[in-house]
Amino acid sequence: MIAIAVLPAAVVFPRASLVASCFKALSALFGDDAELLDEAAVLQLVERARAGDRAARQRLYRQHVGRVFRTVRGMLRSNAEAEDVTQDAMLAALTSLDRYSPRSGTRFAAWLTAIAINTTRRRFRRWRPELTATGELPEVPAADGDPGDDVDRARQRSALLRALAELEPREREIVSLRYGAELNAAEIAAQLELEPANVRKILERVRARLGERIVALMQPGVSA
């Protein structure tokens, strides 16, 4: 067990970066905007989309839809729920671009993520009776994997979702915002009304726990 815990992540995920590169290339073919734009370019797209430029609106959408989905997926029970939340959040954001103000110092991605988090919370409130007393997600994550996935990716997803399901809801939100939405501690703190130092502390603690658990779940012989 100790040997498992000390195995470096590179051994467990030897092809993680390769798989991610392939996924990005495939995503570009199927409608994802693989080239990540900087904040200035995103703001230009927002301005053009506000002025009615449909191509700009679509590019803005494609830049962010993957980020929204992977952020909410870690907090919800299934891909279908994440799909619904992503759809609602993207629709709400694209139809209320006038409300976004970069002058407040908020990045567009952070503003969009806040909409997604609120949409997710509304969904949680609606399903509260179905949640367990500990707040854990009663889902078996492997059950709704996509058939087109390769085995490595499916194992990674399953391990990650299982490890996430063992976290407290607040911890799950924080790590999803950090690693799914790629927000920094200050942005997460602003969204969750916490102190940035507190967020950093929680992240440090949860990262170690999550890493160990994922490595253990990825070992051959552990049922995903």
How many Cα atoms occupy the beta-carbon half-sphere of 69 within 13 Å?
Answer: 13
Q: Measured from the CB atom, is 13 or 111 closer to another protein?
A: 13
- Considering the rule CB under 8 A, would residue 135 count as an interface residue with another protein? no
User: Which member of 48, 179, 192, 194 binds another protein (CB under 8 A)?
Assistant: 179
The span of 14-22, 99-107, 128-136, 190-198 binding another protein (CB under 8 A) equals 14-22
User: Which member of 45, 46, 59, 61 binds another protein (CB under 8 A)?
Assistant: 61
- Considering the rule CB under 8 A, would residue 51 count as an interface residue with another protein? no
- Considering the rule CB under 8 A, would residue 16 count as an interface residue with another protein? yes
Taking only Cα atoms into account, the Rg of the chain, rounded to an integer number of angstroms, comes to 18
Applying the rule CB under 8 A, the residues between 81 and 110 that interact with another protein are: 82-83, 86-87, 90-91, 94-95
Dist. CA 194–CA 73, nearest whole Å: 22
Least distance (Å) from another protein to the CB of residue 10?
Answer: 8
The span of 34-42, 78-86, 98-106, 166-174 binding another protein (CB under 8 A) equals 78-86
User: Which member of 77, 123, 153, 162 binds another protein (CB under 8 A)?
Assistant: 153
- Considering the rule CB under 8 A, would residue 53 count as an interface residue with another protein? no
Concatenated DSSP letters for the chain? -HHHHHS-HHHH-TTHHHHHHHHHHHHHHTT---SPPPHHHHHHHHHHHHTT-HHHHHHHHHHHHHHHHHHHHTTSS-HHHHHHHHHHHHHHHHTTGGG--GGGT--HHHHHHHHHHHHHHHHHHHTGGGS-TT------GGGG--TT--HHHHHHHHHHHHHHHTS-HHHHHHHIIIIIS---HHHHHHHHT--HHHHHHHHHHHHHHHHHHHHHHTSTTS--
Q: Measured from the CB atom, is 124 or 179 closer to another protein?
A: 179
Judged by the rule CB under 8 A, the positions of this chain that interact with another protein are 9, 13, 16-17, 19-20, 23, 26-27, 29-32, 57-58, 61-62, 65-66, 69-70, 73-74, 79, 82-83, 86-87, 90-91, 94-95, 146, 148-149, 153, 156-157, 160-161, 175, 178-180, 182, 207, 210-211, 214-215
